[in-house]
A and B are shown apart, each in its own frame.
Chain A
C-alpha cells in the first residue's frame, strides 16, 4: 500500500472520527427526529388539537377521538401506498375507483353465493392487485405518464364497479349488501374501546414504515424517485420497483374498500368518489414531494389526521360546511408553502427579505 501524499492528509477538515459511524445514539436519534419535516407537521397537529380542545368540551373524549381515527382510516390505509407511489415520482388518481371496484367484486361473489366469504375477500384483494398492476405495467412498459394512466383507470374501475353491481335480482342497482359478521367486524367492530379499522391502520403504518426504512426494496423506492437514471445505472430494476408500488396500492385500496363495505354493510357504486384527492392531500401535507424522492408514511398519516381533526372541529364548533372546504384547501397550500420556505428555495419571501436587507439580484 502506498502512503497517502501529504496534500491529501492535510485536507481532512471534514474527517469525522469513526464513532460517528456507529448506529444512532439516543441523542442522535432525537436530533435527527427534530430535523425531520414530519415533526413540523406533527407540531401543527398538536397545536390544532390543543386549540380545538380549548374551544369544545366534546372534543377530547375517547369516543370522539376514536371516531376521528376511524374516519381517517380509509384515507390512512390508502395513503400508505400513495406515499410510496409519490416517492417514486408517480401519482395514482384511481384509488377511489379501485377501492369501490374491489369491494363490489367481493360483495357480488358473496351475495350471489359464488364463493364463501374468505375466498371472496381474497379474490377482491386479487382484483385490486390486478388493477394496480395494470397501472404499473402501463406506466413502466408502455411509458404512459402516471397521471394519464391512472386518470384512465379512475374511469375504467368505476365503470367496472357499475358493471359488477348490475344484473342481480333483489338489489337496488347501485348497492349490493355485505352482511357477514367477520367483514362487518373489520369495518365496525371494536377491540376494547378501539375501533378495528384504527388497529388495522396503525398496524399497517408500522409495518410499511419499517419496510421503507429497512428493506432493499424500500430504499430502492426512494432511489427510483430521487434519480431514476442513477438507480438504473446502479443495477436497480426500476420497472419492478414502480410496479410493486402501484400493485401494493391496489391491494390496500381493496382492503380499505372491504372494510368500508363492512362498516356500512353494503358495497356502493359511489364509494370512494373524490377519495384520491384527500389521499394525495394527506401525503403532500405530510411532507412528500410530487417531484419524488422524499416523503414518509408517518407524515402522510399525520396529514390525514390534520384533515380529519379539521373536519371534526368544524362540526363540533358548528361552522358552516363551506368554511371547512375552504380551510382544507388553504391548509394544503400552506403546508407545502411552509416547506418551500423552510428549504429556503427562492420564493417571494426570500426576495422580499433580500430587498430589505439591501442585497442585489
Chain B
C-alpha cells in the first residue's frame, strides 16, 4: 500500500465562538475518489476552503506528499498541485477559453525579455488548450470563444479542464454536477472516472446527489454539524445508509485513520 496523497489530520476551525469543524481526519490515495457529503452547514465548504488555501485551520495538520504543508494563499495550494473547481466555477466571462485556462499562468514569448514584459504567446496558449481539452475528451467550441457565450455544461467542462490541466495531483470538485442537466451530468461523471483511471490523481468531490456519490466514490466521508460522522467504504454501504449518517439516524463508526 502506498502512502496516501494527502492526509487530513484532526482539522478544526472556529469562527469566533462557532465551531465550524470539530476534528476531521481522512486520507486520499492517488487514483482514489473520495466524496465529502453532509447536509447544508455541515462544514464541507469550510473544509474545502482550508485545503485549497483560502484560510488556515484553527488547529490540525495537512500532510501532502509526506510533507506538512501550511497554505496561506490560494496560490500556495495551486503551486503544490492542488486545484479546486468551485461551485460558481470562477471563470472570467469576458475572456476566452484559452485565456481562462491560462489565467495566472500565462505562456510568454520572446524569451527572457518577453517574460519580463509579460508578452503572451496567445497562439501557443490556444494550441495547448486545444490539446489539453482534447486529451480529456472535453468538447468545446474554439478556444477563442468567450466564456460568456457558452452553456452551463460547457463552462463546467472548461473549469474542470483548466483544473486538470494544472492540477497534477489532487483535484477538488465542489458540486460539479449541481447546475447540469442529465446528459451533461453523465459526461462529467465519466470524465471524473476517466481521470481516476488514467491520471492516477486524487479526487475530492462534494455532492448532494447520493446517486452520483455512490456511483463514483471509492470512499465517503460524512460530516454532520462540523463533526466527522463517518468514513464509509463504498463496498460496505449503500445510498440509504449514507443518508442515514448524514441525517443522524445512524451514528458512530468513525474509522480512525492511522497516522
Q: Return chain B residues, CB-CB under 8 Å to A21.
A: 126-127, 130, 142-144
Interchain nearest-CB distance for B94 vs A (Å): 4
Contact A231:B103 (CB < 8 A) given known A7-B186, A15-B139: yes
- In the complex, whether B91 has a CB less than 8 A from a CB of chain A is yes
Interchain nearest-CB distance for B95 vs A (Å): 6
Which of A103-111, A138-146, A209-217 makes up part of the contact surface? Answer: A209-217
Task: Identify the closest chain B residue to A224 (Cβ).
Answer: B92
- In the complex, whether B215 has a CB less than 8 A from a CB of chain A is no
Binary A-proximity of B87-109 (CB < 8 A = 1, otherwise 0): 01111111100010001111010
Q: Return chain B residues, CB-CB under 8 Å to A218.
A: 118
Known: A11-B187, A23-B123, A293-B93. 17 other contacts (CB 8 A): A1-B198, A20-B141, A20-B142, A21-B142, A214-B120, A214-B122, A217-B118, A219-B99, A223-B95, A226-B94, A230-B91, A231-B92, A233-B74, A233-B86, A234-B90, A235-B78, A294-B94
Q: Return chain B residues, CB-CB under 8 Å to A222.
A: 92, 94-95
Check if B139 sits within 8 Å of A11, measured CB to CB.
Answer: yes
Q: Return chain A residues, CB-CB under 8 Å to B211.
A: none
Partner of A235 from B74, B143, B154, B194 at Cβ < 8 Å: B74
Contact A235:B137 (CB < 8 A) given known A2-B194, A214-B120, A294-B94: no
Task: Identify the closest chain A residue to B89 (Cβ).
Answer: A230
Q: Number of residues in B with C-beta < 8 Å to the partner?
A: 43
Check if A232 sits within 8 Å of B74, measured CB to CB.
Answer: yes
- In the complex, whether B190 has a CB less than 8 A from a CB of chain A is yes
Q: How far is the CA of A1 from the CA of B137 in the complex (A)?
A: 11
Interchain nearest-CB distance for B108 vs A (Å): 7
The 6 closest A-B pairs by CB, nearest first: A235-B104, A216-B118, A230-B90, A20-B142, A234-B104, A226-B94
21 A-B pairs within 8 Å (CB atoms) are namely A2-B198, A7-B187, A7-B190, A8-B139, A8-B190, A14-B141, A16-B141, A16-B142, A21-B126, A214-B120, A216-B118, A217-B118, A219-B120, A220-B104, A222-B92, A223-B103, A226-B92, A230-B89, A230-B92, A235-B75, A293-B93
Contact A14:B140 (CB < 8 A) given known A7-B186, A21-B127, A236-B103: yes
Q: How far is the CA of A18 from the CA of B126 in the complex (A)?
A: 10
Task: Identify the closest chain B residue to A24 (Cβ).
Answer: B144
- In the complex, whether B14 has a CB less than 8 A from a CB of chain A is no
Check if B139 sits within 8 Å of A12, measured CB to CB.
Answer: yes
Task: Identify the closest chain A residue to B190 (Cβ).
Answer: A5
